[in-house]
Structure 1
Amino acid sequence: MKKKIEVNWQLFRRAAENKLTKEEQVIFNRWLQSEKSHQEYFQKAIKYYSKEIKYSAYERLELDVSYYDFIRYTRRKRLMMRRVASIAASLALLISLLFAFSHFHNEQKDITAGLQLPIEPGKSIAHLTLHTGAVINLADKSDTLISLAEAGSVLVIDSSGLMYSDKEQKNSKNSVNLKNSLTTPRGGEYRLTLSDGTIIWLNAESRLDYPVNFCSGKREITLSGEAYIKVAQLDEMPFVVHTAFYDIEVKGTSFNISAYSDDPFQILTLETGKVEVSFLENTYNQSLTLGSDQQFIFNATTNETELKRVDASKYIAWTSGYFIFDEEPLSLIMEKMVRWYDLNVIFLNSNSANEVFTGKLPRFENFEVIVEMIEKVGDADFQLEGKNITIK
């Protein structure tokens, strides 16, 4: 039987920061007094969340590096001030200087190399490819207006993301149907508002192809990766999402779709409304309709399908800054971490890969926080070397 492990991270962190409510304090005290190991770990957590202790290692590093820089400078200065009696003496001093510089430079390298720098979470970054082929790094843009005169549209880039506006020619048959693409790297996500008002949250390592405005007929976009979509309702213009294996047609609804090209499991989770799924040729021979809180899973390797009822909020929690896992093996959890933290992960045994977790973790904490909580409640042992993660 698989081992079910609860990760009550939010309660634990608020306790470490002394922010519990009275009711939460009662629950936490019971846990704290149940085992001595809980008390010991809680003391470590208090130190971890103390800013003074959390950053002391980096402050010491800066002091050490500054100290070695000072030694190199003062030694060089003293040598330059000495009168050189002969060429041989000059060469000897030069060799000594170079040796000293190399020695302390290597010591500085050793200090830096011995420190595991924090693995920071992803952030709002993406690249926008215009119909002209021009590529815009959206991480470098804010409060920007771009006129797309050919399509009668204006592109707005601000702190909330990317927004298209074509109020004057909305749904006009005379509009030019120009295409743009939005791509997020590993460790990136981005929010996009299409010209019809549809809002899309694009997750890490994903690509979305879409028109600048919707001229007539169907509103069609193409997705590779993961996105949460809140479709603006326009009864006369159905909204269609194309993926590698099937198409999704809606009129006004919200849903999450995970359609990564390197993942055999293509997962569609409907939050509200209804959607119709139509398969492409040579994949699956039927179509189906989903209702609220239903999930459809298609195995692209075996062509097997599964339709089940779920709590859709768990699958869109990433748009609100959380990872939520429900009896999920560590191997699948780490797939999400790889994309969000831009990691390379290797499992040394199947036991750790198959260990099952249930819980809620923060999406915008450094990866070390996630590791600490998983190691505390599970049997997996993480070894971090830069962004290379070994799990045994």
Structure 2
Amino acid sequence: MNKETGYYQRLIKRYIDNNCTPQEATELFDYLQQSSSNRVLLQEMKDLYNAGAGDIQTITKAEWSQRVRNELLQHIQTETTVIPLYKRWLPQVAAAAIILIGATIFFQYFNKSSATNDTVAVKPITTAPAKEVLPGTDKAILTLADGTVIVLDSAKTGSIAAQGGTVLKNKNGLIVYDASSNAASTGEIAFNTISTPKGGQYQVVLPDGSKAWLNAASSLRFPTAFTGSTRTVELTGEGYFEIAKNEKMPFHVKANNVDVEVLGTHFNIMAYGNEAATRTTLLEGSVKLNSGSSSGYLKPGQQADVNSTGVMKVGPGNVDEAVAWKNGNFYFDNTSLTTIMRQFERWYNIDVNYEGVEKKRFFSVEMSRNMSLSQVLKLLDAADIQFKIDQNRLSVIY
């Protein structure tokens, strides 16, 4: 073992023991990108998690963390050969592994070559809070037409309610509306509302078979069976939809002052009241948007922003960014700090306040939404910004 290899292997050991300085960590990952001697062990960490993905629900994160630590320590003492590593797999692994292997440095390393002078990657300079702020979970409130309220995160598996010809079933955290063939003709159509709180998300299968995913702090109002010539639902917050095709009955999503009309397609609508615009991003099929006197069509990969006055702007969209939340990730592509904080407020059920004179900061990073608040803040490192966590309040100090 030559002196250079031994030096960097000792840096790896120092890194997993949290003893590396930021300069040493950057030096280590710079070396791993240039050298063919040690990159394989990082690939092996990826393979270890991919191979055990089926077990992740049955063991704790601490056990996973220890398993990866043992694997890494075993390879520190051996010479290795090259296997290239790419950043795309990082958001797919468990949060414990992300922190263990050094996602912070990876995100900084891979983004620094493309970052502009105004784009920075982040490090909180506060100590961890006594009580960790945990990420959101699958939970929602279902309000039936008669006012009955069902807490979905604690509802038992199986049938949970019946309305007219429609039976509501909870299938492993998925609410399914099972409408009988004559439900639409019984005259007993009612409207239900499913609402997610801050720190919650949920999925529902509508009576026509269409699927809807709700992000945190969102709600969807819909009928227990679709009748007439259209299928119409009302959205607040953010939702991702996969619409069952029915050319004779177009599907409409009404969100703020926007009406999105589809026949059968996949799309995301972000319609939070504290965002600058209602944004529709199309993944598959086609949609028509109407807002006041404005209208337009989207092709796959395009998005439309409609502001509060109804002005519509159609252009290329970032599909990965739009649906990252539905896939369990945060995805920021040159995103402002205040926009990021609004997402954190909704997902971690926190209040964010700002101290000092605002400095414009933009970030490019992709990371798991399964991490705690302090863990995601470690991936946002700006030398002139501090983060302070006090219970469910996050202070951004310029």
| TM-score under structure 2 length normalisation | 0.68
What's 1:371 paired with? 377
Retained in 1: the 8 A contact 2:194–2:221?
yes
Matched, 1:388 2:372: no
Matches of residues 1-392 of structure 1 in structure 2 within 5 Å? Answer: 17=68, 46=100, 116-150=130-164, 152-169=165-182, 172-280=184-292, 285-300=293-308, 303-352=310-359, 354-375=360-381, 379-392=384-397
Q: Which has the larger radius of gyration?
A: 1
Q: Whole-Å Cα distance in 2 between the matches of residues 234 and 255 of structure 1?
A: 16
Report the Cα distance in structure 2 between the residues aligned to 1:278 and 1:23, rounded to whole angstroms: 54
Secondary structure (helix, strand or coil) at the match of 2:234 reads: strand
Contact 1:175 1:215 in 2 (8 A): no
Letter of the 1:347 partner, please give it.
Answer: Y
CA spacing shift, 1:24–1:167, aligned 2, 3 Å: farther
Unaligned runs of 5+ in 1: 1-10, 29-43, 50-113
Cα shift at 1:357: 0.5
Worse-matched range after superposition: 185-194 or 381-390 = 381-390
Q: Structure 1 length as normaliser, TM-score?
A: 0.69
| Contact 1:178/1:211 (8 A) holds in 2 | yes
Moved more, 14-23 or 180-189: 14-23
> Deviations 1:70-125 (Å, cap 9, x if unpaired)?
xxxxxxxxxxxxxxxxxxxxxxxxxxxxxxxxxxxxxxxxxxxx952111000001
Whichever structure has more helix as a proportion of its residues is 1
Letter of the 2:396 counterpart: I
Deviations 1:272-301 (A, max 9, x none): 111111114xxxx2211111110111221x
Aligned to 2:3: none
For residue 107 of structure 2, what is the aligned residue in structure 1? none
Equivalent AA in structure 1 for residue 346 of structure 2 = R
- Classify 1:207/1:12 alpha carbon distance in 2 versus 1 (closer, same or farther; 3 Å): farther
Q: State the shift of 1:303 in Å.
A: 4.6
8 Å CA contact 1:174–1:215 kept in 2: the answer is no
Conserved? CA contact 1:238–1:250, under 8 Å: yes
AA in 1 matched with 2:322: Y
Are 2:268 and 2:322, in contact at CA under 8 Å, matched by a contact in 1? Answer: yes
Question: Is the 8 Å Cα contact of residues 271 and 312 (structure 1) preserved in structure 2?
Answer: yes
The alignment's C-alpha RMSD in Å is: 2.9
Aligned residues: 294
Unaligned ranges ≥5, structure 2: 1-41, 47-64, 73-79, 88-97, 104-127
- Contact 2:320/2:331, CA 8 A, preserved across alignment: no
Preserved CA contact (<8 Å) 2:133 2:374 = yes
Alpha-carbon shift at residue 320 of structure 1 (Å): 1.2
**Alpha-carbon deviation of 1:372?**
1.1
Distance 1:133 1:48, change over 3 A: same
Identity of aligned residues (%): 28
